[in-house]
């Protein structure tokens, strides 16, 4: 099984823009992150503290676009596996870790 490190080229850092990926912390915003996260009903991962500290929050005039944006972050968390303090997070192709 091959794991990929979260060290990406700068272009992905710009697109993902999160402290998880080594970017500067985002300034205090005007969005209430708890309200934004609570506005969606489909979450499996309800680790709000992780989302609040690791993803950029946005609000658009289109609620479907907002839902798609946060749903994609939800999908990303399903593929993150924390290895150890030395290796940190890695991506895996599996939703559930295989026995091997």
pTM attached to this predicted model: 0.62
Asked, for residue 42, whether it belongs to a domain, the answer is yes
Asked, for residue 96, whether it belongs to a domain, the answer is no
Asked, for residue 54, whether it belongs to a domain, the answer is yes
Residue 11: predicted pLDDT: 38
**More confidently predicted of 12 and 67:** 67
Residue 26: predicted pLDDT: 54
Asked, for residue 57, whether it belongs to a domain, the answer is yes
Domain range for residue 77? 4-8+29-91
Asked, for residue 100, whether it belongs to a domain, the answer is no
Distance CA 51, CA 73 (A): 9
Asked, for residue 67, whether it belongs to a domain, the answer is yes
Q: Is 31 left (phi over 0), alpha (psi -120 to 50) or beta?
A: beta
pLDDT band at 65 (very low <50, low <70, confident <90, very high): very high
Asked, for residue 99, whether it belongs to a domain, the answer is no
Distance CA 46, CA 12 (A): 25
Task: Report the number of distinct structural domains present in the chain.
Answer: 1
pLDDT tens-place string over residues 8-54: 444 343 444 444 555 555 556 688 998 999 998 888 888 888 899 99
Hey, what's the torsion of the CAs at 68, 69, 74, 80, to 10 degrees? 130
Residue 64: predicted pLDDT: 95
Tokens of 13: 């850092």
């Amino acid at each position: 099984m091959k794991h990929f490190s979260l060290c990406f080229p700068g272009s992905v850092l710009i697109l993902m823009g999160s402290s998880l990926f080594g970017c500067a912390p985002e300034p205090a915003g005007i969005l209430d992150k708890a309200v934004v996260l609570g506005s969606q009903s489909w979450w499996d991962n309800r680790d709000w503290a992780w989302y609040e500290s690791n993803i950029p929050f946005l609000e658009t005039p289109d609620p479907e676009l907002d839902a798609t944006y946060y749903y994609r972050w939800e999908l990303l968390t399903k593929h993150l596996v924390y290895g150890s303090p030395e290796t940190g997070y890695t991506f895996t192709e599996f939703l559930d870790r295989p026995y091997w």
